[in-house]
Amino acid sequence: MLTRITGGRVIDPAHGRDGVGDVWFEDGRIVPPPTGRAADASYDAQGAIVLAGGIDIHSHIAGSNLNTARLLLPDLRRDGSFDGAPASFEIGRLYAQMGFSLVVEPAISPTVAMQAQLELAAIPFIDRAILAVVGNEDFLFHLMRADDGANAIADYVARALAGSRALGVKCINPGAAAALKANARAFGLDDVVPRWGFSSRAIIHALQQAVATTGVVHPLHLHCSNLGLPGNVETALATIEAAEGRPLHLAHLQFYAYGTEGPRKFSSAAPRLAEAVNREKNITVDVGQVMFGQTVTVSCDVLRQFNGRHSAHPRTWSIAEDIGNGGGVVPFRYRRTSFANAVQFAAGLELFLLIDDPTRVFFTTDHPNGAPFTTYPDLFALLMDRELRAQWLATLPQEAVAMTTLPAIAREYTWPEIAMMTRTAPARLLGLVDRGHLAPGARADIAVYRPQADRAAMFRHAALVFKDGVLVARDGEVTTPRFGRVLHSSPGFDRAIDTRLAGFFEDTYGVPHRAFDVAAELVGGTEHFEVVPCRS
Amino acid sequence: MGAVVLRLKAPPPWPLDLAALQPAALAGKSADEIARMTLGRVAVGDVFAVSAGDAAELVLQGGSPLLDCVGAGMQSGTLLVEGAVGALAAAGLRGGRLEVRGDAGDHLGGAAPDSRMGMSGGVVLVRGNAGARAGDRMRRGLLIVEGDAGPEAAGGMIAGTVAVCGAVGAAPGVLMRRGTLLLGTPAVAPPPGFIVGRLAGDGTFLRLLARALHAVSPRAGECVAAVQHRWLGDLAALGKGEILVTGGQAIPQHQRSG
Amino acid sequence: MFELVDAEAALDGRPAPLPQGIAAAAALLAGAAAPVIAGLRTDAAGAVAAVALARRLGAVLDHAESEAVLRDLDAMRIGGWIVTTPAQARAFADLVLIVGDPAPDVLAALALERPPMLDAEQRPRRVLRLAAGETLAVRLGLLRALAKRREVAAPHDLVTLAEALAGARYGVVVWSAAQLSSLAIEMLCGLIEDLSAATRYAGLPLPAPGNAAGVAQALGWETGFPFRIAFRDGMPRHDPVHYEATRMVASGEADAVLWLDALGGGPPPWRKQVRLVALAPPGTRFADPPEVALAVGRPGIDHAGALFHPVAAAVLAALPTAPLPRPTAADLLGRIQAALPAC
């Protein structure tokens, strides 16, 4: 069916397009304006904004940690107001309503990938992908010590991607989970894993090299050490330096943007971080914006969650260790009246506004850690409207606001910058050639927003949302559920790594390593998946 | 018009969750509206004869151990049951007053299913006995059982007052963090996890407690007058709770409440 | 006594073709005022299909072993917990405290007779035991007080145990919720928390049979809640007290049950007559023939399924050991749902 969206302001930064015009699609793909054929269906977008479907590169939408959050907090969900851990179906519905077409779950240990893939299979409307977590397994340390370390680690990483059906590689506080098992309660970039002697820095280097060797497009996606601690800007700056010019993605940078100035020894150091990101072009970041309200923190940074469990609100938690990272679930309420939470809120916005290249900074709230993803509409509105920011800031403790530069920042995101940050750039960062833009050949993943005084309302309920050319949401109401695809990489590797894994796993853990592999036939078969090519 | 009155027509067919029958919510509704409210598979009118009223007062005439969650989550008003109630009466109760002229089941004044907090305000008086875990994880308020209570009374209590005039089952006050558990049956040794503490010198606190309890239940007030021991615990938890116990021998008259 | 033999379906004990069995099941469930889907011994796909059917019917969902799972979940919800997996315990634990008598299979996977595989010094493990029983919660309370270094009168054996526990580098406490009271589990979680102030401890709650943990996970992502869920107007409500299948059958509140037992755990535990659709593997014996019995394949034996792996403590793919072309639970539930009259 040939479909035409007419008369909207079409913004496609990938091709320098920003102007009133039409978008045509047929059989799930964007097509050039046909000559001599009339559209079978036509949608009027006059006065509206037409973008490609939104892409969220870092949102915890699946996996046993998130599911534990669901089972831990039934009481919070009883009145329907808590979006920290919606059921899978609701995740798809809520994202589709906002005009999103792809969401990446960034923290799945290969040992729990099967469940994560089952959960992804239950999320309708959108495409999904996971990143596989490595960096705290004794098997990796074992390889780092081996003579053929570098090649073996690349094989191991590729094998982990294959077993998990993952798109890319995530590393979460490398070494810290292993150190916690030996009763370490703190772990920085140059601390070493007991018994093995490897530092966090060494693990990052090894994995950066492995990702490059595999040809996976998405760079190593790193959750640094010392998350949330006052003064941790030094850790983030040192980590940026440690990348030595190689591609590195730093996740939820806001949680590392803290100095130790001021009366409470807690201040925003976002300007320093933004400056470093502006300078180092190999670095991409997502923000992990904090928004106020009840949420739940869900993380494979088990050391951080272990240390933070007593700040839980409500007072309950689950810390679950495993043979790799493990994870922790700690509910938390960000309060407008809290000095620290106000600084966090401002520091996130400072990063957004002070990092000048919208191709290297990504909107996230690190759902649900900074806030549920359902707060994105408010976040986008804040980025686009200086006056709105001033209104929010006026409600916060002024001594906290004074610890930030936010009041002085005049920048407002333009529509092309929003389109770049939420569509074009994430597609490129993930290595997707047919998503995130509107040129012929792209998937017909399209979101149409109708501008209105309340920008957040506009972003919350897109006027029209198409996924693969099918209308899936209109003015905030979804249509009959359909399912998108699960994206993954499939780099080659030397099968000899299986022999080594088999020996290690069966003796050490009493479980064959193959038992953890995702069985495609249990999650919709091969058609359910889409392979994203690696660099050759 | 006054109170809303629901008269039990026949024993309920199966356990019913009565949490929806809140005094404040029923006030001003017509008898028909109330009768049409559903309790799972049955309508209120199938089980109760309804007499409407305009005050935030609800009277349940006739009781049954199959009436669960009576007054659960209640925030205001008064609820009087002329008979027994089942499990989870006053669970998560936040305000108002519940009186049961009969026995109550397990988790009286405890946490509602799915919730981690017991009652957090209000007054609950049970004239008969209560089941296990009365006052479980209670945060505030006053809970009086004039008869006996089952095991683990005031377990995990955070604050507030629980009084059991009769006998109490095993492990009273287990995992108590703060708060007061008054036991009206004489005992000599503290339960595990509790240590012997001192009774406050001039008895001011006990006099105040006695007055507060006497206003709700003279019997509970008299138990305070007979208090001889103060035990502190549970040392497995925060350990700042207290169990006040009668020693079987009343303290002198002049220390009693007026 | 009725035994489901190798027929596709049986109606009141008489073999019938499968389409007839499906139609009869759909008619029975559609006509019920308060249907319950119970047993739920199935794989993830079966659980997902059961949720869909329950949503459509407005039915209650409960698992045969839900009591034990909910006890563990309650302990987690009330005060938080620190837990680990058997695989991790096998590799790291230098001290293992076994509470009660957990099933031997997972204990065997811990290889307690060997030193922890990833321990640098390869010192033998200390294995300690604590008997379950009525006084367990009280004894654990005293252990907690001792672990907090409080002055408390405690029997000598507990004092010795507390000293031993404090000496571990990575201690693991093993229990099966089916054997312990809620209070005892809460105490164990608290003890682990207390010991974690100075050294490392983690709990190892062993999974209940019948893939209860796996089904709880599946219900979690499908509905946001574990079992004892009722659907009203398509929305799930969770109530561990009022949506207990056994209680609903005993009281007469439930007027029809779909008993789902793809893992061969046996017939329903109740004696009372209730209209029954049973999905069970051939060979299952019932005291009386169910109104509708459908033969179902066993995940991990007859067909591939996602099941909670007791040693990995994760939902993993279980490949068939002897594939048979029997319908899966998800197939049958889907066909029953498709055969329901349009609403």
**Two tokens at C83?**
């837990």
**Residues from chain C contacting residue B156 (CB–CB below 8 Å):** 78, 186
Q: Nearest to residue A421, comparing CAs of A272, A289, A255, A300?
A: A289
Rounded to whole angstroms, the Cα distance separating B71 from B23 reads 8
Q: Nearest to residue C77, comparing CAs of A84, B87, A329, B110?
A: A329
CB A31 within 8 A of CB A43: no
CB C258 within 8 A of CB C37: yes
**Residues from chain B contacting residue A78 (CB–CB below 8 Å):** 114
**Cβ distance of B114 and A316 shorter than 8 Å:** no
Q: List pLDDT tens digits, range A158-188.
A: 999 999 999 999 999 999 999 999 999 999 9
CA distances from C308 to A65, A313, C312 (A): 15, 30, 8
The range of the structural domain enclosing residue C93 comes to 69-206
Give the residue ranges of DSSP H helices in chain C: 18-30, 44-57, 66-79, 86-92, 104-109, 136-147, 156-166, 182-195, 212-223, 245-251, 329-339
Residue C325 belongs to domain with CATH number: 3.40.50.740
Residue C17 Cα, gap to closest chain B Cα (Å): 34
**pLDDT, chain A, mean:** 97
Say yes or no to pLDDT of C233 above 90. Answer: no
The predicted structure's pLDDT at residue B248? 54
How crowded is residue C160: how many other Cβ atoms within 10 Å of its Cβ? 11
CA distances from A107 to A94, A175, A427 (A): 21, 16, 19
Rounded to whole angstroms, the Cα distance separating A19 from B216 reads 75
CA distances from A394 to A11, A204, A398, A399, C13 (A): 33, 41, 8, 11, 74
Residue C61 Cα, gap to closest chain B Cα (Å): 15
Q: Nearest to residue A94, comparing CAs of A107, A108, A80?
A: A80
Of C78, C83, C317, the CB nearest to A320: C83
A68, A76, A105, A319: best mutation site toward chain C, by most C Cβ within 10 Å?
A319
Asked if C55 is an interface residue toward chain B (Cβ–Cβ < 8 A), one would say no
**Cβ distance of A114 and C316 shorter than 8 Å:** yes
Per-residue pLDDT of chain B (258 residues; tens, 9 = 90+): 699 999 999 999 999 999 999 999 999 999 999 999 999 889 999 999 999 999 999 999 999 999 999 999 999 999 999 999 999 999 999 999 999 999 999 999 999 877 889 999 999 999 999 999 999 999 999 999 999 999 999 999 999 999 999 999 999 999 999 999 999 998 888 998 999 998 877 788 899 999 999 999 999 999 999 999 999 999 999 999 999 999 754 444 343 333
Asked if C84 is an interface residue toward chain A (Cβ–Cβ < 8 A), one would say yes
Pairing of strands B78-82, B97-100: parallel
What stretch of H or E contains A490? none
Residue C69 Cα, gap to closest chain B Cα (Å): 14
CB B213 within 8 A of CB B224: yes
Domain residue spans of chain B: 63-255
Does C334 lie in the same domain as C239?
yes
**Two tokens at B57?**
């007062």
Rounded to whole angstroms, the Cα distance separating A257 from A271 reads 8
Asked if C240 is an interface residue toward chain B (Cβ–Cβ < 8 A), one would say yes
The predicted structure's pLDDT at residue B247? 78
Beta strands in A281-321 (DSSP E): 283-286, 293-299, 318-320
The predicted structure's pLDDT at residue A130? 98
**Two tokens at A366?**
């690190």
CB A455 within 8 A of CB A499: no
Residues 6+ apart with CB under 8 A from B97: B77, B78, B79, B122, B123, B124, B125
How crowded is residue B231: how many other Cβ atoms within 10 Å of its Cβ? 23
Q: What is the mean pLDDT of residues A65-74?
A: 96
The predicted structure's pLDDT at residue B250? 41
The Cα angle at residue A93 between residues A89 and A95, in degrees rounded to 5 = 120
The predicted structure's pLDDT at residue B257? 37
Asked if C76 is an interface residue toward chain A (Cβ–Cβ < 8 A), one would say yes
Interface of B with C (CB under 8 A): 13-15, 17, 40-41, 66, 68, 87-88, 113-114, 116, 137, 152, 155-156, 170-171, 174-175, 191-193, 195, 234-237, 239
CB A353 within 8 A of CB A331: no
Owner of token pair 């079992």: C227
A71, A73, A75, A315: best mutation site toward chain B, by most B Cβ within 10 Å?
A75
**Two tokens at A48?**
């509206």
Domain residue spans of chain A: 52-459
- More confident: C272 or C112: C112
Residues 6+ apart with CB under 8 A from A499: none
Pairing of strands C305-309, C314-318: antiparallel
Return the axis-axis angle of helices A149-164 and A200-214, rounded to nearest 10°: 70
Q: List pLDDT tens digits, range A29-42.
A: 999 999 999 999 99
Q: Which of residues 154-173 of C touch B (CB under 8 A)?
A: none
The predicted structure's pLDDT at residue B256? 35
Residue A78 exposure: Cα atoms within 13 Å on the Cβ side? 11
Q: What is the mean pLDDT of residues A24-52?
A: 97
Rounded to whole angstroms, the Cα distance separating B198 from B214 reads 23
Residue A509 Cα, gap to closest chain C Cα (Å): 4
Residue C143 belongs to domain with CATH number: 3.40.228.10
Q: List pLDDT tens digits, range A194-235.
A: 999 999 999 999 999 999 999 999 999 999 999 999 999 999
Rounded to whole angstroms, the Cα distance separating B109 from B135 reads 5
Residue type, C225: F
Owner of token pair 């946490």: B111
Interface of B with A (CB under 8 A): 114-116
Rounded to whole angstroms, the Cα distance separating B157 from A513 reads 46
pLDDT band, very low/low/confident/very high, at A307 (cuts 50, 70, 90): very high
Asked if C128 is an interface residue toward chain A (Cβ–Cβ < 8 A), one would say no
The predicted structure's pLDDT at residue B254? 40
Of C305, C314, C317, the CB nearest to A111: C314
Rounded to whole angstroms, the Cα distance separating C32 from B151 reads 39
Q: How many domains is chain C built from?
A: 2
ipTM for the complex shown:
0.97
Interface of A with B (CB under 8 A): 74-75, 78, 314-316
The Cα angle at residue A373 between residues A367 and A379, in degrees rounded to 5 = 110
Residue B81 Cα, gap to closest chain C Cα (Å): 21
Residue B193 Cα, gap to closest chain C Cα (Å): 6
A141-150, A151-160, B186-195: the lowest-pLDDT one? B186-195
**Residues from chain B contacting residue C142 (CB–CB below 8 Å):** 192-193, 236
Return the axis-axis angle of helices C156-166 and C136-147, rounded to nearest 10°: 50
Does C202 lie in the same domain as C109?
yes
**Residues from chain C contacting residue B170 (CB–CB below 8 Å):** 134, 138
The predicted structure's pLDDT at residue C234? 86
Rounded to whole angstroms, the Cα distance separating A276 from A241 reads 9
Rounded to whole angstroms, the Cα distance separating A439 from A9 reads 15
Please give the radius of gyration of chain C, using alpha carbons only, rounded to the nearest integer. Answer: 22
**Residues from chain A contacting residue C311 (CB–CB below 8 Å):** 509-511
Residues 6+ apart with CB under 8 A from C284: C3, C4, C261, C264, C266, C267, C278
In total, chain B counts a number of residues equal to 258
Q: Is A536 exposed, middle or buried (0-12, 13-18, 19+ CB in 10 A)?
A: exposed
CB A418 within 8 A of CB A98: no
CB C260 within 8 A of CB C41: yes
Chain C residue closest in CA terms to A80: C235
Pairing of strands C14-16, C9-11: antiparallel
The predicted structure's pLDDT at residue B252? 41
Q: Nearest to residue C207, comparing CAs of C41, C77, C327?
A: C41
Three-class secondary structure of residue B31 per DSSP: helix
- More confident: A524 or C275: C275
Q: List pLDDT tens digits, range A383-412.
A: 999 999 999 999 999 999 999 999 999 999
Chain B residue closest in CA terms to C32: B41
CB A406 within 8 A of CB A398: no
The predicted structure's pLDDT at residue A146? 93
Fold for A52-459, please state it. TIM Barrel (3.20.20)
Q: What is the mean pLDDT of residues A248-261?
A: 98
- More confident: C151 or B220: B220
Q: Is B253 exposed, middle or buried (0-12, 13-18, 19+ CB in 10 A)?
A: exposed
Of A87, A111, A138, the CB nearest to C221: A87
Buried b (16+ CB within 10 A) or exposed e, C145-159: bbbbebebebeeebe
Does C217 lie in the same domain as C186?
no
**Two tokens at B137?**
């994880």
CB A132 within 8 A of CB A189: no
Q: What is the mean pLDDT of residues C232-244?
A: 91
Rounded to whole angstroms, the Cα distance separating C65 from C41 reads 9
Percent residues over pLDDT 90 in chain A: 97
Q: What is the mean pLDDT of residues A225-251?
A: 98
CB B216 within 8 A of CB B78: no
Does C314 lie in the same domain as C200?
no
How crowded is residue B1: how many other Cβ atoms within 10 Å of its Cβ? 10
How crowded is residue A530: how many other Cβ atoms within 10 Å of its Cβ? 16
Q: What is the DSSP letter of B66?
A: T
**pLDDT, chain C, mean:** 95
